[in-house]
Amino acid sequence: MKFFIVDDDPDVLALVSRLLTEAGHEVVVRASSAGAMRDIPEALPDCVITDVMMPGMDGFELTRTLRARPELKATKIVIVSAKSYDFDRRRAKEMGADGYITKPINVETFLQSIYASVSERVSLHYWGVHGTLPAPGPAYTRYGGNTPCVSVEISGEPLYIFDCGSGIKQLSDRIMRETVAAGERFSGRIFISHTHWDHINTVPFFAPLYLRGNQIEIFGPYQGDLSIEAAISAQMESVYFPVTVREFGARLLFRDLREETLQFGHVRVDTMLLRHPGYCLGYKLTCRGRVICYITDNELYLPTDARHDARYVERLAQFVRGADVLITDTTYRDHEYPSKVDWGHSCVSQVADLAARAEVKRLHLFHHDPDQTDADIDVKLAETRAELTRLGSPVVCEAPAEGSELVL
């Protein structure tokens, strides 16, 4: 890659230049932002690495100015600064930076941090795939018995987490082991589909919430007279649980959602109300040309049922159309569904029809009934694939296991 480094500290210029050159990259350095602003448009580097505190034009202004140049649209910008404040990290994102690394530079991890910032990688990780309640035991070892939790990792962005079922404990362990133990702060955005127990009751076991310096935002559907903050807090009152939200040390922000669109720099999140008891939201995350849809819990009635709403099905199909991955409630096999109508969950044939109609690339079966063992999920997967074949659909259908990862 071709790097352009801007810093008024000659020692930093020398160190960063040496690390990148020894790794085989081409490097250009400038000691002032004015000189850099003159030369960068002509050099067309793959990545600009800049300090913040410089005389004249500071790093934020340089970033904003570079981002206004159409010919530099593909150029990545990484801030490397001694300022470790959350405000400055947020400001860097607002100006258009792709990454933020704090000084002093750690020579052991610097290159890895740079590569993570400039990468286009988007990875999807499953931490819990069952619904309703955890299903322990030897019959649940291949797919796992934890309840819903899915994370999306986007280089240079906070971690995106969907639901806080029991699977979030495994995610918490990984964050504490790989991020916090390395002395790094954690930033995450948690999106709650709805406030039924299997989607929120493991919030107290998400350890990053208790650490000062971490920043976590929790989004969820407004329940008319109950905010997402009140719902999360209520389940942690002392009569139900010995630790309350007052024990959290992280900077914690709550936001109620309706059907709307949220924009976080390069990342867009759209929401849609789903057919499920109470208020339940489906989410569509769009970033770097990839689209991931998280649609659980949701009931698609059989076409023969008077409650079947063709308009709703078509609207949902439009919402998820062309998604790289559709993660959706497929709780029941078709023969199980008639006794579970109005419970708020879907069966194989209607999920396959939705995926085929919306022409998604991948269909991921999710929110399995707690009575369904690994063998039962195998059969459900085979039935869904057969239904897609019958419909003439090329959709790739999978039943992700707890702990599995998909890189997009």
Please choose, from the candidates 288, 368, 280, 271, the residue with its C-alpha nearest in 3D space to the C-alpha of residue 324.
Answer: 288
Measured in whole angstroms, how far is the alpha carbon of residue 99 from the centre of its chain? Answer: 17
| Collapsed DSSP state (helix, strand, coil) of residue 361 | coil
For residues 140 and 202, what is the distance between their CA atoms, to the nearest angstrom? 20
- Domains, the chain, ranges and CATH? 2-118 (3.40.50.2300), 122-407 (3.60.15.10)
Residue 240 structure tokens: 């139900």
Residue ranges of the alpha helices (H) in 3-106? 10-22, 33-43, 59-67, 86-95
For residues 378 and 382, what is the distance between their CA atoms, to the nearest angstrom? 6
Q: Given this model, what pLDDT does residue 156 score?
A: 77
Contacts 24+ apart (CB under 8 A), 58-65: 58/33, 59/6, 59/33, 59/92, 60/91, 60/92, 60/95, 61/33, 61/95, 62/6, 62/33, 62/36, 62/37, 63/92, 63/95, 63/96, 63/97, 64/95, 64/96, 65/37
Q: Given this model, what pLDDT does residue 27 score?
A: 96
**Which of 220-224, 324-328, 351-355 is least confident?**
220-224
Q: What is the pLDDT averaged over residues 29-33?
A: 92
Q: Work out the pLDDT band at 352, boundaries 50, 70, 90.
A: very high
Q: Compute φ and ψ for 37, nearest 5 degrees.
A: -65, -30
CA dihedral over 135, 140, 144, 148, signed as positive or negative:
negative
Contacts of 348 (CB under 8 A, 6+ apart): 330, 332, 333, 334, 380, 383, 384, 387
For residues 88 and 94, what is the distance between their CA atoms, to the nearest angstrom? 10
- Cis check for the bond before 378: say yes or no (omega within 30 of 0): no
Give burial (CB, 10 Å; 0-12/13-18/19+) of 3: buried
Q: Is the per-residue pLDDT at 223 higher than 90?
A: no
Give the amino acid at 386. A
Cα angle 355, 303, 293 (rounded to 5 degrees) comes to 25
End-to-end CA distance of the chain: 22
- Burial per residue of 196-209, b for 16 or more beta-carbon CB atoms within 10 angstroms, e otherwise: bebbbbbbbebbbb
Contacts of 30 (CB under 8 A, 6+ apart): 4, 5, 6, 36, 39
Q: 274 with 297: CB under 8 angstroms?
A: yes
Q: Given this model, what pLDDT does residue 265 score?
A: 80
Q: What is the pLDDT averaged over residues 221-226?
A: 88
Secondary structure of the chain: what % helix, strand, coil (to 5)?
35, 25, 40
Q: 220 with 281: CB under 8 angstroms?
A: yes
Each residue of 165-187: pLDDT tens digit? Answer: 999 999 999 999 988 877 788 99
Q: Is the per-residue pLDDT at 119 higher than 90?
A: no
For residues 84 and 105, what is the distance between their CA atoms, to the nearest angstrom? 12
Q: Given this model, what pLDDT does residue 323 score?
A: 98
Q: What is the mean pLDDT of the chain?
A: 94
Q: Compute φ and ψ for 253, nearest 5 degrees.
A: -120, 135
Q: 193 with 281: CB under 8 angstroms?
A: yes
Residue 267 structure tokens: 């990342």
Each residue of 225-279: pLDDT tens digit? Answer: 899 999 999 999 888 888 999 999 999 999 999 999 999 988 999 999 999 999 9
Q: Compute φ and ψ for 321, nearest 5 degrees.
A: -55, 130
Percent of the chain whose predicted confidence (pLDDT) is above 90? 84
Residues comprising the chain, all counted: 408
Q: Given this model, what pLDDT does residue 46 score?
A: 94
Q: Given this model, what pLDDT does residue 225 score?
A: 86
